[in-house]
A and B are shown apart, each in its own frame.
Chain A
Amino acid sequence: MPESETIPITIDGEKTASAAGASIWEAARSEGVEIPRLCHQPGMEPVGVCRVCVVEVEGARSLVPSCQRRVEAGMVIQTRNERVTRAQRTLLDMLMAEHGVESDPENCELTALAKRMKTRNGAIAPPSEDAPRRLDSSSSVIQVNHAACILCDRCIRACADVQGNNVIGRGGKGAGARIVFDADAPMGESSCVSCGECVAACPTEALTNKSITTESGGSESREVRSVCPYCGVGCGIAYQVAENTLLSVRGDESSPVNRGRLCVKGRYGFDYAHHPDRLTTPLIRREGAPKAKELPQNPLSLFRKASWDEALDLAAHSFRKIHLAGGPSSLAGFGSAKCSNEDNYLFQKFIRAVFGTNNVDHCTRLCHASSVAALSETIGSGASTNPFADALKADFILVAGSNPTENHPVAATFIKQAAGAGATLAVMDPRRIDLVDHADIFAQFRPGTDAALFNGLLQVVMEEKLFDPDFVETRTEGFEALAENVKPYAPRNVSRLTGVPAKTIRKLARLYAQSERSMAFWGMGLSQHTHGTDNCRALIALCLVCGQIGREGTGLHPLRGQNNVQGASDAGLIPMSYTGYQAVSSPRHREKFEKAWGRELSGEPGLTVVEIIDAAWRGDIKGMYIMGENPAMSDPNLNHARGGLANLEFLAVQDIFLTETACFADVVLPSTAFPEKTGSFTNTDRRVQLGRRAVDPPGEAREDWRIVAELSERMGYAMRYESEARIFDEIASLTPPLAGISHDRLGEHGVVWPCPEPDHPGTEILFGESFPSGRGKLVPVQYAPAKELPDDDYPFVLNTGRNLYHWHTGAITRRARALNAAEPDPYVEMSPEDLKRLRIRNNSRIRVESRRGEIVLAARASARVQPGQVFIPFHYVEAAVNLLTIDELDPDAKIPEFKFCAVRIKRAGRQRR
């Protein structure tokens, strides 16, 4: 139906035209007539259960639900005559009689509507005896009050249609009908993932958020628009703030990123900012306090409070001393993907201009370094080509080595929605992740065989000539070599290697290649390997030969982990390049930055994260400045990494908590948490958005960039900026893809780079015409096994990653009450078969050992892992899985092999609890 088609209708005596296919409710609304409603919610499928939106349609015997009935030519509609309002009032009377709680109209649409429609509250009594009256407090974040429920089905649609979680439904019948979770479990024991979408949708107080910090501040509270501090999705949020306390968070419906949706971390994980463990003054290590690779029992006892002047002077003095003795290469710095573009820009500027070294890196090295390396090598740009919401426009979606329902939950809702609406979804993963429930194809391959599997797909594409010959001809190079290279990877051979049936390989290849629009998502499952770059090269080659890039609903999307991992790299927080990936080794770029910064710069690319820690261990690096990173938890082979940190002559750590890394510090500088500062953050779509200060920092804590600038001043290099906006202006002036962006332009919803000019709208979809590298390079790769294969001594493959409720090293989420309550203890996922074979009871404590370390934690039976494999999330200091992981690196990207090492399992003996 053409959009422009309109039909004549009459609403309340006014002749008008309505879009054909619109509901009466929509048609009325576009005429400025707001028909009352409770169950209907724009953006959701109408269900017509509350009947409050009824109208009179000439010729109809009874009243008509306006949310459901479509307009017809010549329809004569009355929305507020006596007959209609009488029925509406009676319906509201009935609902008020059933609604067994006193509600504030502020929080209850029903009460507000009843008041507005002047119903005779209480005329109909008493409530039904069958009606459910139960309170369900089992969820750690959501309170369910069945008495207040009016069965509008909004929560059901929010859970199933918006978030794709499929937990809530209707149970029972008639007056006994009620909302249920799963097969009538208490909410807290159901498969609910606590995203809170149901609470946001609920028109009454049947589903409410439990208070996280303190009770609502009432009219005193104000709202601050910002972005979510957790993952790379970058959801738009609004903080509700009373005085200096965050009360709650809601999703920003107008955000083009999340369209109002949030996950459990974004909605309920904000209270870490108010945690009593927050650092409020600078700390200086006590004379003689030992530095050992074992973490101390009481870390605070290692330090004494200090003034800012004393702490900064000590840091400046110590760095200067090391610089004088060992030269620039004896110093290094880690910035953080949790800090803003402005923080990180200044930090890397400080390291380069003041320390005089390119030894500056951050945790991107540990997550997508190999993706960035492969993308840069092949197409010349290390970022996603299309926004993740393009999943909704794709016909085929490939999710490889990514567990988005836990790691990028809001992006996952778009993928699930697309699958629900008919797109074919394929999941490639060694674990049977939850997204598989929504998938059409699941290729469960053996860990570490990713490259073989992609080569297998390429082989099918070549053999069956499924590639796009025009695209190959005009946009790529290296096709012949690639075709030759994948010849041995026939599906039968690949099947033996990967465990994926040959039929599945063929089907996947055909669907990816032949669908009109195919989009590929990937994550750490591909990147965190010693052959991580190869994995990505193979995936990119598949994408290029099939021409699935450069259009809506196609493309390559490495789902970025941290909220600003894209931006931190963009801001130059990597050892090989300045802002915007301008190589330090290029004299042209170096000169530009030398001129801008007024200092001579090193042209030699610096060391990466694991290399720096290695150098510290060897004693080559003697001084470090770490802002917001926690390598004492996040690096592989922690005994080695912590040894490296302990070996440093001087370490300054700038953070909001006394992290595991800070235990090794000589000076600790208290900085601001996300809600306490303003700055720009760049999400996985390349969208630069503004986070806004909502509360003041505690005690003497200062913004990261101000601390960097102060330290710089004390080391003789002035950094004077009026505000974050001015820092961004400097970034823009030096960085062509960001040149058109300023804080003023970011507004509510940000700008997507590349944005070369102030009047440029930004670019959501890249490479429609060509690649920055000219032609896309097809790089042949070979399958190579992981570095440490299981054997008789260490028979299990260890895989590591995250769970839904925690964030990385746990520094903030272990201090977010609701999140930590959901997953308070470390665990190892094992297949029920292995547990049975080893005679280990579910939830009993076991010891997991590798050649590098051992940890004790609870065994958790999980059908998600295959026999012979175990999975451990890395959030828990009391059982830090990185004590076990191996510090072998990918030769190109220097990313460690977090996803594969050999371990053995032992029973831990007597239970400690």
Chain B
Amino acid sequence: MPWSALTTYRPPRKIQALAAHQEKEGYLSKEAISTISRRLGVPAYETFGVASFFPRFHLEKPAKPRVRICRDISCRLAGGEALLKNAGKIARTAGIKTIRPQGCSCLGRCDKGPAAEIEGRIHSSLTEGKLRAIIESWREGKPKPASRAQKIKNTTRLNPYRKNGAFGVLRVLMKSEKPESVIETLKESGLRGMGGAGFPVGRKWEFVLNAPGEEKFVICNADESEPGTFKDRAVMDSHPELLIEGVLIACRAIGARRAIIYIRHEYNMQAKALERAMARARKARLLGTNETPRLEIFISPGGYICGEETALLEVLEDRRAQPRDKPPFPGSEGLFGMPTLINNAETFALVPAILRKGGRWFSSFGRNNGSGFKLLGVSGAVRRPGVYEVEFGTPVREIIEDVAGGLPAGARLKAFSPGGASSGFLPARLGDIPYDFTPLEEAGSMLGSGALIVIPEGVDMASLAHNAARFFRGESCGKCVPCRIGADKIAAFLERALRGDARASELPAIGEICDAMKETSICGLGQAAPIPYLSLLRYFRSDIEAKLK
């Protein structure tokens, strides 16, 4: 019997049908949702629940082209907010009155803000003039192509291969009897997950290998959405075959026959790059044969929460992206209840180099007690924003100055966010802090997803904290009370503070909310959502107190 007949995997039919219908009709009317439900034999509430949850689905007919402008931190520092404010006017002068440009969450072009998504095409380094030209090009029926994304300039460590050497580790492994050695090497390397939580990779793989289950799955989380984060995108732009190889190695190591790369829908160019890399793997008979795993790319229906691993599983099971309580962890009960290995895109991409060069090679990198290196996206007020290989333990100031070229002329460092919006903000005086898990946690922040955002003097930190709080409010799935209400309360408080309508006497109550969010939220989103606000209070108190009555 072919193994495919045995799989517990079932495709997410509602999401697929909704996506297909929207592709054709441009939006999803209630009638269409009812019709799709009847056709699939599922209750209408389920289909509507899914359709109304994901930003990719539109319940009303949008005017073309649909313009979504990023309003998160890096783009805001690059002038995104002003662009969004004026976008309606720009559209009108470009000759299309019906467009209602909207703000959207981070598009992963933080190195070249401000960015916008226009009918599925991402445009970066936007100015008002450029935006006008793009909208005009739509009016004229000859839409401008998407902006090219910036690749990683120097990947001597990440990429272990010379020309034409791709998939070398996997080729050897295919012949090997002992995939256990893979896990041993990963454990030796000390590699930790690069998605934010930093769980030791070797241990995770070993756990899934040993978990009892009729079938096992490998999932590559390429749903990069943390504001300021674009390193996974850059990996896929630069070395998609390393990611594919890492995923296939994982399948071999833990005994999975199906793997899924879960990618955000805005990364369609990257999905194409992955497909090209998969084609190369098929050509080398590393994919597409009876003996090799089945690998597919799943395009996310959208939303930051989908990057949360259990929410991601819910989406793959055709439901709203509402995270599950852990335990059980995906390693024992994941996709369709089967043991499931979920790692971040960068994590998988690092695997071939480590296996090729050895665990000790990887752990030999690092300074100030750090071990190994990672990819770090630097954005904000620096001369050379981009993705860099950075050794753990490197002082942040050194990364800003030496790697990213320092702040632009005349600018002085006020603060930095070491790991995207969830990591909050640290002041310039902590600039010598080593870029590593433990020191950042001790400072009330975290290493997060590899997104260093550099903030110059003159920026109001209350306003940035509000920017982050607004992001979390918009991205909360709403499943659990602390996050659904708490994220809203923090954002609303900061909004009022910026207007001069908030009182200092409210601080204790907001503090209680932050505690409850950290203590009782189901997932990392709700637990991290108060961090930007808390870092504002801890390090930039004057920026907020001055605004309170």
Q: Does the CB pair B52–A175 fall under 8 Å?
A: no
Distance between Cα atoms of A50 and B486 in the complex (Å): 12
Q: Does the CB pair B49–A171 fall under 8 Å?
A: yes
Q: What 1/0 mask marks residues of chain B from 473 to 488 whose CB sits below 8 Å from any chain A CB?
A: 1111111111011111
A163 shortest CB reach to chain B, Å: 12
Q: Is B515 an interface residue (CB 8 A)?
A: yes
Q: Does the CB pair A169–B485 fall under 8 Å?
A: no
Q: Is B405 an interface residue (CB 8 A)?
A: no
Q: Which residues of B contact A69 (CB under 8 A)?
A: 325, 327
Q: Does the CB pair A173–B478 fall under 8 Å?
A: yes
Query: B30, B45, B477, B509: which has the most chain A beta carbons within 10 Å?
Result: B45
Q: What 1/0 mask marks residues of chain A from 61 to 97 whose CB sits below 8 Å from any chain B CB?
A: 0110100110000000000000100110011011101
Q: Which of A183-191, A200-208, A505-513, A557-565 contacts B (4 or more CB under 8 A)?
A: A183-191
- Given A97-B485, A150-B481, A172-B478, answer yes or no on A90-B513 (Cβ-Cβ < 8 Å): yes
- Given A90-B515, A91-B520, answer yes or no on A174-B482 (Cβ-Cβ < 8 Å): no
A862 shortest CB reach to chain B, Å: 14
Query: A63, A87, A90, A91: which has the most chain B beta carbons within 10 Å?
Result: A90
Query: A49, A51, A130, A166: which has the most chain B beta carbons within 10 Å?
Result: A51
Interface size bucket, A side? 35 or more
Chain B contact residues: helix, strand, loop or mixed: helix
- For A123, the closest partner residue in chain B by CB is B509
A45-65 contacts to B, CB under 8 A, are 48-52, 54, 62-63, 65
Q: Is B303 an interface residue (CB 8 A)?
A: yes
Q: Does the CB pair A86–B515 fall under 8 Å?
A: yes
B19-76 contacts to A, CB under 8 A, are 30, 33-34, 37, 41, 43-49, 52-53
Query: B41, B481, B516, B521: which has the most chain A beta carbons within 10 Å?
Result: B481
Distance between Cα atoms of A182 and B480 in the complex (Å): 22
Q: Is A718 an interface residue (CB 8 A)?
A: no
- Given A87-B520, A123-B509, answer yes or no on A173-B477 (Cβ-Cβ < 8 Å): yes
Contact of B481 among A50, A128, A129, A160 (CB under 8 A): A50
Q: Does the CB pair A173–B53 fall under 8 Å?
A: yes
- Given A63-B519, A87-B516, A437-B41, answer yes or no on A169-B484 (Cβ-Cβ < 8 Å): no
Distance between Cα atoms of A126 and B485 in the complex (Å): 11
Distance between Cα atoms of A191 and B515 in the complex (Å): 42
Q: Which residues of B contact A437 (CB under 8 A)?
A: 41
- Given A128-B492, A169-B49, answer yes or no on A175-B480 (Cβ-Cβ < 8 Å): no
Q: Does the CB pair B48–A180 fall under 8 Å?
A: yes
Q: Which residues of A contact B33 (CB under 8 A)?
A: 183
Distance between Cα atoms of A168 and B44 in the complex (Å): 9
Q: What 1/0 mask marks residues of chain B from 486 to 497 whose CB sits below 8 Å from any chain A CB?
A: 111100100000
- Given A87-B519, A87-B520, answer yes or no on A128-B485 (Cβ-Cβ < 8 Å): yes
Q: Does the CB pair A65–B49 fall under 8 Å?
A: no
B548 shortest CB reach to chain A, Å: 16
Q: Does the CB pair B487–A124 fall under 8 Å?
A: no
- Given A124-B489, A173-B53, A175-B484, answer yes or no on A180-B509 (Cβ-Cβ < 8 Å): no
Distance between Cα atoms of A124 and B512 in the complex (Å): 10
Q: What 1/0 mask marks residues of chain B from 102 to 137 whose CB sits below 8 Å from any chain A CB?
A: 000000000000000000000000000000000000
Q: Is B527 an interface residue (CB 8 A)?
A: yes
Q: What 1/0 mask marks residues of chain A from 90 to 117 whose CB sits below 8 Å from any chain B CB?
A: 1101110110000000000000000000
- For B511, the closest partner residue in chain A by CB is A90
Q: Is A807 an interface residue (CB 8 A)?
A: no
Distance between Cα atoms of A65 and B204 in the complex (Å): 25
Q: Is A170 an interface residue (CB 8 A)?
A: yes
Q: Is B414 an interface residue (CB 8 A)?
A: no
Q: Does the CB pair A95–B53 fall under 8 Å?
A: no
Q: Does the CB pair B515–A62 fall under 8 Å?
A: no
Q: Is B518 an interface residue (CB 8 A)?
A: yes
- For B489, the closest partner residue in chain A by CB is A124
Q: Does the CB pair B484–A151 fall under 8 Å?
A: yes
Q: What 1/0 mask marks residues of chain A from 675 to 718 whose CB sits below 8 Å from any chain B CB?
A: 00000000000000000000000000000000000000000000
Q: Which 10 A-B pairs have the closest CB atoms?
A: A169-B45, A177-B478, A166-B43, A90-B516, A182-B44, A94-B485, A183-B48, A51-B520, A174-B476, A183-B33
**Apart from A62-B520, A94-B482, A181-B45, what 7 extra A-B contacts exist at CB < 8 Å?**
A86-B512, A87-B519, A90-B482, A151-B481, A170-B478, A175-B488, A177-B478
Instruction: Enumerate chain A interface residues (CB-CB to B < 8 A).
Output: 48-52, 54, 62-63, 65, 68-69, 83, 86-87, 90-91, 93-95, 97-98, 123-124, 126, 128-130, 150-151, 160, 166-177, 180-185, 191, 437
Q: List 22 A-B contacts (CB under 8 A).
A: A48-B325, A49-B481, A51-B521, A62-B520, A86-B512, A91-B520, A94-B482, A94-B486, A97-B485, A128-B485, A169-B45, A170-B478, A173-B52, A173-B303, A174-B473, A174-B474, A174-B475, A175-B484, A175-B488, A183-B48, A184-B30, A185-B30
